[in-house]
Chains A and B, each alone.
Chain A
């Protein structure tokens, strides 16, 4: 995998949300988690972003069992792939490096 994968902000947030849910994340709780964290996302944007992440091999998905509470339809569970983890690590590294030493300034303003 190349090292030049740069995550967009939304991608980063989503990957984190998926990661937090371990491999039990699907759209409904992901939206809730994002909203709880202060980030409102439209449903369409979520699906589109997840699809893009999957195309980039940063997450993978699998279908669960059909459930009565979903009108007999299955959940699509997402989990972060190794590439996704690598990309997250990379972006965390970059961010932390840039954040370093700025805390005091931000606190002040």
Chain B
């Protein structure tokens, strides 16, 4: 027997705080168990209903008890009446809602959808931003960088091993400082070799995070020494995937990059820190570790009781001292410390989440406007009744209270109804994310509906309803009874009309903002999928091979020899048109960039030298990838270790460094000012390398024979579908070196999809919000317009009797509607402009607001608003004027 859902139980426990009432929860649990035999869903529904009823009567009882207990005897009756009044009001409200089931259902459904959208996105926000990591005493965990003045884009740089060692030696405010080095490695599994993401970490890594391996142990301090470093902790996923979840693996030896490592532990399930890691081995810091190469990420655990600021100040002081001691390398470097969560979240995520949440709030706004509109209509409908009651001396407050009570009851019902919607939405979000991406999104799998989300929903729902039902209610109670009664109870005073006008305007504006935002997101995602990339992405199979340093490190010729041999093998496969290799292919994630020192340019310090993307490619690269040559020549086989160092540069590289001049024959140096000069022999077109990357990012291409890479990516151009070639390609690589796995096999199209998944996902969410918003807005606009027209039936009748044609009146209605829609569109455009700017910022230039968004969408919405006004007006005008007159 499974019992009621945990969510329901937790809610019940929270709502019945009295510890002694555990027996009541037990009664419900027991009855649920009896009913579960007749259907789990019905039993669950029963549990919710019984629980809610119980909670309601419990609190009514408690409240009454509190009033009675807190008051003297004389006051008891009066106070008691307050509670009775509230109960009475709520009961009346419920009855009022039930009397008009269709309208009530519409209001509640509208609000529930709005609340569910907010709650689902809040739960994403909560999981990704507020608690994406969950380590013991996480408030003491930090990430530390150094600032690096030479990178213009992102003011954070990893730390050099020598600096890190000095930090470790001096940072007394920390229990541990842990260095992490990226470590892609080839794992020889039980069957096939596999490429896995690993990190070399300081031995204190697991202790610092407070994470215990599920099996075995973490690292001992002495395993940070070179002689003892061959131990490894394996991630749960890799353990299950490649080693059949064999618990005896602990203590055994595995082969990583051709070296034997002893497995000392298996990480707990779900532990991927950092960045989707599946392997951890000790980081060794040699005594002569470099100070000018920055490749360590640093995390730290503050000592107990040490405030964040003190740790930050200490690292800053240590870094300042390093800048004095080593001006050559450290002159401009400063420490940057943030909490661990912020340190590892995607820098773009905050903006994206903010935009989502803002969109969801706009959606809720539209839902609320619909609700307000219906409340207003209801208030107007009951105006006669209200006027009579006011005239008879009923307090205005009481009337307001009654209308507000209806709002609150609707809000409560909508909040409950939004729970299953939210559950569905969060599940859909979780499942829409491919597992291969999810690994890199700490917290994604934790997206779930919990107490926080529900509390958020409830508060939001009640606030919204309070605001949007109190306003029309107060408005309604301000009528002059005499006037209303004189007008037969159907008076539409000017202020009321203005109120409804505000609603239409708000609705048009909010919907426009959302639809424009979604349009921008969707088109951006599309452009990345289909737009010009600078190369031909079709019929291209790609994969990568990592050459282990143990076998290939000593000799660059061995590496270039491997590349040549593999290319030859691949070229022989049937259906292959062209083959090429490079250190990095476009759309495959990582990047490599180097400082460049251009001859003849104003001298710069090494710290301030400009940066360009660096690619190392085979001579066939440009032809095989379909990258056009602009001028000069391509690379040749003769550009080898014996030839002069040469490079082909991208058009943007040439324009940046030699604007208006002929770049051919110019020379530059890579990485350091004393490096051998490289001569430009050709200029090629620009290429989009990764989805955030700007098209004009300067790039230079050097021949693989002159700078052989350790990571090689192959691209195989085929005459037909490239996917079936995967197996043959794998075998071709194995034929050259059986120890090397070809990993990450996918077509270039697949790689592009993977690279843009974040953007597409964001666009998808925005799209769903926008469609819902548009539907709600259309129904709302129609509702308001229909109501306006209905109120004017009498006036129409009189006008027609006096000779106005139906056409005139239709024109009149449409003119008024277009004035309102126009104002709404105007305000909406302002908001849409702001949203566009925010999106351009959050998606780092990937979103480009365009005229299409700001012309087509407003036109569409304007037309919808007019149509919504035309429909009811036409219906009324088709009626015989005498009937209209009589109805007034």
Provide the B5-47 mask, 1 if CB < 8 A to any CB of A, else 0. 0000100000000000011111101110100000000000000
| A44-B57 contact, Cβ under 8 Å, with A69-B33, A71-B3 | yes
Q: Tell me how far the C-beta of A70 lies from the nearest C-beta in chain B, rounded to whole angstroms.
A: 4
Q: Across the interface, do A44 and B58 meet the contact criterion of CB distance under 8 Å?
A: yes
Q: Across the interface, do B56 and A44 meet the contact criterion of CB distance under 8 Å?
A: yes
Which of A15-23, A72-80, A87-95 faces chain B? A72-80
Q: Across the interface, do A69 and B57 meet the contact criterion of CB distance under 8 Å?
A: no
- A-B pairs with beta carbons under 8 Å apart, 20 shown: A26-B23, A27-B23, A27-B24, A28-B30, A42-B53, A43-B27, A43-B57, A44-B57, A44-B60, A47-B24, A47-B54, A47-B58, A63-B23, A69-B29, A69-B33, A70-B26, A71-B9, A73-B29, A74-B23, A75-B26
Interface of B, secondary structure class, is helix
* Bound-complex Cα distance A45 to B24 (A): 13
Q: Given contacts A69-B29, A70-B27, A73-B26, could you give 13 more A-B pairs where the C-beta distance is less than 8 Å?
A: A27-B27, A43-B50, A44-B56, A44-B57, A48-B57, A63-B23, A70-B29, A71-B3, A71-B25, A73-B25, A75-B23, A75-B30, A76-B23
Closest to A66 in B: B26
* Bound-complex Cα distance A35 to B445 (A): 46
Q: Across the interface, do B53 and A71 meet the contact criterion of CB distance under 8 Å?
A: no
Q: Is A67 an interface residue (CB 8 A)?
A: yes
Binding site for A on B (CB under 8 A): 1, 3, 9, 22-27, 29-31, 33, 50, 53-54, 56-58, 60-61
Residues of B within 8 A of A47 (CB): 24, 54, 57-58
Q: Tell me how far the C-beta of B766 lies from the nearest C-beta in chain A, rounded to whole angstroms.
A: 41
Q: Across the interface, do B24 and A71 meet the contact criterion of CB distance under 8 Å?
A: no
Q: Across the interface, do A45 and B29 meet the contact criterion of CB distance under 8 Å?
A: no
Q: Across the interface, do B53 and A43 meet the contact criterion of CB distance under 8 Å?
A: yes
| A74-B54 contact, Cβ under 8 Å, with A28-B30, A44-B61 | no
Q: Across the interface, do B23 and A44 meet the contact criterion of CB distance under 8 Å?
A: no
Residues of B within 8 A of A26 (CB): 23, 27
Closest to B33 in A: A69
Residues of A within 8 A of B9 (CB): 71
| A28-B23 contact, Cβ under 8 Å, with A44-B58, A69-B1 | no
* Bound-complex Cα distance A104 to B620 (A): 114
Q: Across the interface, do A67 and B26 meet the contact criterion of CB distance under 8 Å?
A: yes
* Bound-complex Cα distance A63 to B469 (A): 46
Q: Tell me how far the C-beta of A47 lies from the nearest C-beta in chain B, rounded to whole angstroms.
A: 6
Closest to A63 in B: B23
* Bound-complex Cα distance A74 to B60 (A): 25
* Bound-complex Cα distance A74 to B21 (A): 10
Q: Across the interface, do B1 and A28 meet the contact criterion of CB distance under 8 Å?
A: no
Cβ < 8 Å to B, chain A residues 14-70: 26-28, 42-45, 47-48, 63, 67, 69-70
Q: Across the interface, do A71 and B26 meet the contact criterion of CB distance under 8 Å?
A: yes
Counting from the closest, the 4 A-B pairs by CB-CB distance are A44-B57, A73-B26, A70-B26, A76-B23
Closest to A51 in B: B61
Q: Tell me how far the C-beta of A69 lies from the nearest C-beta in chain B, rounded to whole angstroms.
A: 5
Residues of B within 8 A of A73 (CB): 22-23, 25-26, 29
Q: Tell me how far the C-beta of A25 lies from the nearest C-beta in chain B, rounded to whole angstroms.
A: 12
Residues of A within 8 A of B26 (CB): 67, 70-71, 73-75
Q: Across the interface, do A69 and B61 meet the contact criterion of CB distance under 8 Å?
A: no
* Bound-complex Cα distance A73 to B23 (A): 6
Closest to A61 in B: B23
Q: Across the interface, do A44 and B53 meet the contact criterion of CB distance under 8 Å?
A: yes
Residues of A within 8 A of B27 (CB): 26-28, 43, 70, 75
Q: Across the interface, do A28 and B31 meet the contact criterion of CB distance under 8 Å?
A: yes
* Bound-complex Cα distance A75 to B28 (A): 11
Residues of A within 8 A of B1 (CB): 69
Q: Tell me how far the C-beta of B7 lies from the nearest C-beta in chain A, rounded to whole angstroms.
A: 14
Closest to B51 in A: A43
* Bound-complex Cα distance A26 to B26 (A): 11
Residues of A within 8 A of B58 (CB): 44, 47
Q: Across the interface, do B53 and A70 meet the contact criterion of CB distance under 8 Å?
A: no
Q: Across the interface, do B54 and A69 meet the contact criterion of CB distance under 8 Å?
A: no
